[in-house]
């Protein structure tokens, strides 16, 4: 985790949050504005996570304006002034999660301009440096449906009756923040990212099949060359090499977890022509045959 620079007398445009700490959620829910409405004008004592399901909304935080559209997520940290800049679109539907800030999160995120040392909004010089993760205020989530699913799961859990409710909410929120952190740092465009993730997931969930570039391109309605270029750009290898590496790693794990299964069956399970094809490719990657690998691991 990178250490964020925290300064007094300046304003960090973004959000500073701690990762993997115990979290508490005060409220979470769905809201629909049938008629156009402005965002509330307020300074909250909690972090406000806002996910746009359908519609658009222009929201200001201090002097910064954020234009939200469907499947955008906005983080409005505790202590900052935020307000609507115009009205939402009709039938605006969104989700929100209000999160109680941890320790010095509020001080780290508040505009420190004009505060004396030790006052709210400015970390005292004697206070030990803390590690925060830096988040963009506005994160585009169109290419990652899992973020929306996590948001919905958190709301559902808030309404649930469970003796482990608070623990589950804390874990889910931390998982959501990790997903957001990864999402904002992805270097490639959202549309290609979405297709690439779906193609990778298909390869991982159907290990018995080897896909050609043409088959995947037709399935996801994309040019074969575009798909191939994206695999090389993101994974540093061709589609074929990516599939082979995934399958061989699955085979390696399978050999250890299922020691009684014959190599012929293993080859069929992971899309190889036969056990000889599997043995050659496995030895090329790991330096030993599958049978020998089992023996070494058992010993």
Please check whether residue 286 lies inside any domain of the structure: yes
One domain, residues 153 and 43: yes
Please check whether residue 9 lies inside any domain of the structure: no
Query: In sequence order, which residues have a C-beta less than 8 Å from that of residue 36 and are 6 or more positions away?
Result: 87, 88, 89, 90, 92
CATH of the domain at 56: 2.60.120.280
One domain, residues 161 and 219: no
One domain, residues 137 and 49: yes
CATH of the domain at 249: 1.10.10.60
Three-state SS for the chain is: CCCCCCCCCCCCCCEEECCCCCCCEEEEEEEEECCCCCCCCEECCCEEEEEEEECCEEEEECCEEEEECCCEEEEECCCCEEEECCCCCCCEEEEEEEECCCCCHHHHHCCCCCCCCCCCCCCCCCCCCCCCEEECCEEECCCCHHHHHHHHHHHHHHHCCCCCHHHHHHHHHHHHHHHHHHHHHCCCCHHHHHHHHHHHHHHHHCCCCCCCHHHHHHHCCCCHHHHHHHHHHHHCCCHHHHHHHHHHHHHHHHHHHCCCCCHHHHHHHCCCCCHHHHHHHHHHHHCCCHHHHHHHHHC
One domain, residues 53 and 178: yes
Please check whether residue 155 lies inside any domain of the structure: yes
What is the per-residue pLDDT for 128? Answer: 42
One domain, residues 29 and 177: yes
Please check whether residue 2 lies inside any domain of the structure: no
Among 138, 162, 185, residue at a domain's last position = 185
CA distance 254 to 15: 43
One domain, residues 37 and 166: yes
One domain, residues 41 and 153: yes
Please check whether residue 135 lies inside any domain of the structure: yes
Q: Tell me the pLDDT of the chain (299 aa) as tens digits.
A: 443 433 333 444 699 999 999 999 999 999 999 999 999 999 999 999 999 999 999 999 998 999 999 999 999 999 999 999 999 999 999 999 999 999 889 889 985 432 333 434 333 333 344 589 999 999 998 878 899 999 999 999 999 999 999 999 999 999 999 999 999 887 654 556 678 888 998 999 999 999 999 999 999 888 898 889 888 888 899 999 999 999 999 999 999 999 999 999 999 999 999 999 999 999 999 999 999 999 888 76
What is the per-residue pLDDT for 127? Answer: 39
What is the per-residue pLDDT for 79? Answer: 94
Q: How many of the other CB atoms lie within 10 Å of CB of 25?
A: 22
One domain, residues 20 and 82: yes
Please check whether residue 10 lies inside any domain of the structure: no
What is the per-residue pLDDT for 299? Answer: 65
One domain, residues 64 and 200: no
One domain, residues 214 and 178: no
Among 151, 185, 219, residue at a domain's last position = 185
What is the per-residue pLDDT for 77? Answer: 97
What is the per-residue pLDDT for 105? Answer: 92
Domain of residue 34, residue span: 15-185
Structurally, the chain folds into a number of domains equal to 2
What is the per-residue pLDDT for 243? Answer: 95
Among 185, 217, 235, residue at a domain's last position = 185
One domain, residues 269 and 124: no
Please check whether residue 4 lies inside any domain of the structure: no
One domain, residues 72 and 112: yes
CA distance 69 to 77: 20
With tokens 């935080």, the residue in question is: 61
Please check whether residue 234 lies inside any domain of the structure: yes
Beta strands 25-33 and 138-140 are: unpaired
């Amino acid at each position: 985790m990178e250490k964020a620079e925290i300064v007094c007398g300046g304003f960090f445009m973004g959000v500073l949050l701690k990762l993997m700490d115990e979290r508490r959620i005060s409220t979470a829910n769905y809201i629909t504005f049938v008629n156009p409405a402005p965002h509330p004008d307020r300074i909250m004592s909690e972090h406000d996570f806002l996910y746009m399901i359908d519609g658009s909304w222009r929201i200001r935080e201090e002097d910064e304006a954020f234009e939200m559209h469907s499947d955008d997520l906005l983080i409005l940290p505790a202590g900052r002034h935020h307000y609507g800049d115009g009205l939402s679109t009709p039938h605006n539907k969104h989700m929100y999660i209000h999160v109680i800030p941890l320790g010095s999160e509020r001080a780290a995120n508040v505009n420190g301009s004009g505060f004396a040392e030790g006052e709210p909004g400015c970390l005292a010089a004697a206070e030990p440096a803390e590690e925060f993760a830096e988040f963009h205020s506005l994160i585009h989530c169109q290419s990652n449906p899992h973020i929306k699913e996590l948001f919905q799961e958190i709301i559902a859990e808030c309404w649930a009756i469970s003796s482990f409710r608070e623990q589950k909410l804390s874990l889910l929120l931390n998982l959501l923040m990790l997903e957001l952190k990864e999402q904002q740092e992805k270097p490639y465009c959202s549309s290609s990212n979405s297709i690439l993730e779906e193609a990778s997931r298909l390869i991982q969930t159907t290990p018995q099949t080897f896909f050609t570039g043409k088959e995947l391109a037709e399935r996801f309605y994309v040019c074969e060359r575009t798909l191939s270029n994206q695999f090389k750009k993101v994974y540093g290898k061709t589609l074929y090499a990516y599939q082979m590496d995934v399958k061989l790693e699955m085979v390696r794990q399978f050999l250890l977890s299922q020691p009684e299964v014959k190599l012929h069956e293993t080859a069929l399970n992971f899309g190889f022509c036969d056990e000889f094809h599997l043995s050659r490719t496995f030895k090329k990657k790991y330096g030993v045959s599958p049978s020998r690998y089992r023996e070494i691991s058992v010993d």
